[in-house]
Amino acid sequence: MASMREVAERAGVGIGTVSRYLNGTGYVSEETGSKINAAIKELDYTPNELARNLFKMSTNIVAIIVPDLSHPFFSEFARYAESELYGWGYKTMVCNTINKSNREKEYLEMLKRRMVDGIITGVHSLDIEEYLKVSQPIIALDRYIGENIPLIGCNHNKGGELAAGKFIQSKCRYVVQVQGATSVNTPAHDRHTVLESVLSREGIHVETKEMLWNRFDYDYFEKIADEILDEYPQIDGMFGSDLAVSAVLKRALERGIRVPEDLKLVAYDGTYLSKAVYPPMTVIAQPIEELAKKAVELILELIKGNKNIPDKTILEVSLQEGKTT
């Protein structure tokens, strides 16, 4: 493998000039740059990225931490974020914690040791104190962590209102909603609070089924679906994430419950799953691609040293009609 010294000798310049050209840290004339570039091609020289990054105190890597990549929302978010980061010259390290809080701590240690330039985190597995020990760039996806860690999420209050309006329009009288563990400090809970408040004012009964902490496997959602249909035979409306609603849809159809004639379903997220099932689901859609792009924009601003970004960035949700209401 060719060295930088060999490139310098082939181009007829000093090794410092080659270093300036590769790192963009000083003036190199166009003619000299052309000679260096020709020498690089002739020798098939590959720069030592690790050494360059150590010199620049940068890795050009951003970590995205999610609970479980099998979850449609997190997989879509990671895909869009990776594509956006690549467009800005950054590589992506996707970290899948799968209920293991020690994994998350390891990734935070990587940030402190400058093995990655920043973190976008959407997990729920660590105490806030662990994040507060880190001074490097972090963006929180739909989670309250601390005053110094900006949050990006959606208008879940509006999401709850839109879902409630759909149940009212559909003349539902007994709605069950599936909510994530309330031990997690996330604005996503607001949609459930608002939904219950709006429906209760209209005299519609609401039951809330709280999930266990950090469970995202589909078998668990099917178990929840069976419990709902067993415990609430009078149910005529159901609200939850795409995964939760798809599981209820499957179990309901297996039991001969007609959708939407007997049971109306409103999902929340708007991932590919909402269109992959039949009938396609009515959803309150989060703009996942826009969320990912905005999260990338914010983390790159922090990496550049810009501290003047908003504490909260909230994007709007929308109602997308399907055939489950």
Print the SS3 string covering the chain: CCCHHHHHHHHCCCHHHHHHHHHCCCCCCHHHHHHHHHHHHHHCCCCCHHHHHHHHCCCCEEEEEECCCCCHHHHHHHHHHHHHHHHCCCEEEEEECCCCHHHHHHHHHHHHCCCCCEEEECCCCCCHHHHHCCCCCEEEECCCCCCCCCEEEECHHHHHHHHHHHHHHCCCCEEEEEECCCCCCCHHHHHHHHHHHHHHHCCCEEEEEECCCCCCCHHHHHHHHHHHHHHCCCCCEEEEEHHHHHHHHHHHHHCCCCCCCCCEEEEEECCCHHHHCCCCCEEEECCHHHHHHHHHHHHHHHHCCCCCCCCEEEECCEEECCCCC
Q: What average pLDDT does the segment 234-244 reach?
A: 97
107 falls in which pLDDT band (50, 70, 90)?
confident
- The model's pLDDT over 51-61, given as tens digits with 9 standing for 90+, comes to 555 445 678 89
- The model's pLDDT over 159-214, given as tens digits with 9 standing for 90+, comes to 999 999 999 999 999 999 999 988 888 999 999 999 999 999 999 999 999 998 87
pLDDT for 15: 84
Tell me whether domains 61-153+289-315 and 156-287 share a fold: yes
Instruction: List the single range of 29-38, 74-83, 159-168, 173-182 with lowest mean pLDDT.
Output: 29-38
The CATH code that applies to domain 4-56 is 1.10.260.40
101 falls in which pLDDT band (50, 70, 90)?
low
Q: Is the pLDDT of residue 26 over 80?
A: no
- The model's pLDDT over 108-146, given as tens digits with 9 standing for 90+, comes to 777 777 778 998 998 876 667 777 777 789 999 998 887
pLDDT for 133: 75
Specify the CATH architecture of the domain 156-287: 3-Layer(aba) Sandwich (3.40)
- The model's pLDDT over 219-234, given as tens digits with 9 standing for 90+, comes to 999 999 999 999 999 9
Specify the CATH architecture of the domain 61-153+289-315: 3-Layer(aba) Sandwich (3.40)
Residue boundaries of the structural domains of the chain: 4-56, 61-153+289-315, 156-287
The percentage of residues in the chain with a pLDDT greater than 90, rounded to a whole number, is: 58
Model-level pTM? 0.81
